[in-house]
Structure 1
């Protein structure tokens, strides 16, 4: 089923979805199987698989899409990042997805792969996610989702300009928006309202990233532009970095409270950035279901 249909047919119930990426080592692959066994018990409405721009990572993305969709039976949204890819590459990738039975694509510009000396951008590469969305919609009968940034993309001139790009993505064919993770819900609510004021009418889903470790939250926040609120900074500063379990438990508690507020404010669904880990997301989902919120 296509994601717009899933979002439209929820009968007032919020959707649940998880993001995964291809495991990079044999041990990671074994851990991923356990992650899927655990999170699969939550019966997500769909899952998403990120896209590797490099050769081996790209092949791994195809394999994971095939495993989740055709072997485990999930509705899969396959990412595609247009960075550096010309029309021939894009067509080859999308054709491969079609062969796997994919009906849902998530289109982003993406960033050039770091540490891949073999990566050479195609001179005909599409410069923006909106161009990629148009390319896909003109050639393939699939649903397309796109990204939004509640605090603004790091490269955007302003949040207002960035929201103009969200509107452009919709105009080019994006049928729903999934937000980058954030830790202050009001930032998301403000973003949604500003999008509506600009004429964005498609569903906008919040992205949730539980805190997994001191180092990860700092690194990802810098890369993605998500501000760490004072409350969180203070709480984390009081937890020793070596006490990994305490950090995870704080992250579960914070994400639970964050999701409680989002659900009480009638968001369409929750999309979790799992980092291929099960414990935190599983605990948050169970907390919400015990309260009858999910």
Structure 2
């Protein structure tokens, strides 16, 4: 016997939400083939008119130039509003300020400011002796340089390096107080995780938008492995949904799209109006979910005559 759906959770066959906005995250490509895949993804999603698209920055600044090239190309060759990820790792304040100034000179006005992950083998994060120690310091430094729009990270289940959830929430408050425009969450799969987090966010006096980060799952085993590192919970029921589909990629896509779509529509019923999709440089699932959310390219209204 199945339990009835809670009244606050919309069924799939419910009216399309109105007024939903989206944004997308890409990562800089390593090869020419990956470059083409990324650009195919960008061009596929561009007609949806997202609020912005962000480009990630590798651990230890390992993708600094590739991130810059990707962001600059998006600015030059599309109508999209690009946001460049920038971290505190492996660079002095002067070096980071120089990178930020280059972005400003090229018309990039939006930065995703992050502490960043330590390079592999370093054994944990250590601030650069002459750098910005943490994301709040980076936000403050960027704001001194120019009036950037700044997004920061939020962690509904707490950052894995945080000694407590309250410490992590206090750190988010520091980033907002330093001048951040919005926060974007780490991905999560249980909507109640976001709901409980937002109760705590509002109680802390944080009033900027906290945008839920949505990860459509294309490889369940990989997501389980990565989630152990980043501190995101993968509910046991997700394993049941993807069970037996290791060699069935088409069905996996259908399950992944349905799961993310239900997650978004439930949150939309709560009043959430902006979703940030971690695309992994693949457009198909994000495009389908956006369609169901009512985020679509403008229709060609030209009247065809005989």
1:184-195 paired onto structure 2 within 5 Å: 184-195=190-201
Higher RCO, Cα 8 Å, sep 6+: 2
From 18, 41, 46, the equivalent of 2:47 is 41
SS at match of 2:202: helix
Question: In 1, distance between residues paired with 2:79 and 2:188?
Answer: 30
**Aligned counterpart, 2:8:** none
Question: In 1, distance between residues paired with 2:137 and 2:61?
Answer: 23
From 26, 32, 47, the equivalent of 1:26 is 32
Residues 142-167 of structure 1: per-residue CA shift (max 9 Å, x gap): 11111100011111112122111111
Structure 2 gap ranges (5+): 1-17, 297-306
Q: Is the 8 A contact 1:32 1:276 kept in 2?
A: yes
Question: In 1, distance between residues paired with 2:81 and 2:57?
Answer: 16
Question: In 2, distance between residues paired with 1:113 and 1:99?
Answer: 29
Pairwise CA RMSD of aligned residues?
A: 2.1
**Aligned counterpart, 2:132:** 126
Deviation at 1:21, TM superposition (A): 1.1
Which structure is larger by alpha-carbon Rg, 1 or 2? 2
SS at match of 2:254: helix
Q: Is the 8 A contact 2:61 2:87 kept in 1?
A: no
SS at match of 2:133: coil
TM-score of the two chains, using structure 2 as the length reference: 0.85
In structure 2, the CA distance between the partners of 1:176 and 1:121, relative to structure 1 (3 Å rule), is: closer
Q: Is the 8 A contact 1:84 1:126 kept in 2?
A: no
From 156, 175, 181, the equivalent of 1:150 is 156
Residues 233-261 of structure 1: per-residue CA shift (max 9 Å, x gap): 2222x223122222222111100100110
Question: In 2, distance between residues paired with 1:52 and 1:70?
Answer: 23
From 17, 23, 26, the equivalent of 1:17 is 23
User: Are residues 1:104 and 2:95 paired?
Assistant: no
From 194, 205, 228, the equivalent of 2:211 is 205
**Aligned counterpart, 1:165:** 171
Residues 95-131 of structure 1: per-residue CA shift (max 9 Å, x gap): 1111211111110000123379xxx974212221111
Question: In 2, distance between residues paired with 1:204 and 1:159?
Answer: 16
Deviation at 1:284, TM superposition (A): 1.0
Q: Is the 8 A contact 1:204 1:268 kept in 2?
A: no
In structure 2, the CA distance between the partners of 1:71 and 1:224, relative to structure 1 (3 Å rule), is: same
User: Are residues 1:224 and 2:230 paired?
Assistant: yes
Aligned length: 276
Q: Which has the higher helix share?
A: 1
Question: In 2, distance between residues paired with 1:206 and 1:125?
Answer: 29
Deviation at 1:24, TM superposition (A): 0.9
**Aligned counterpart, 2:146:** 140
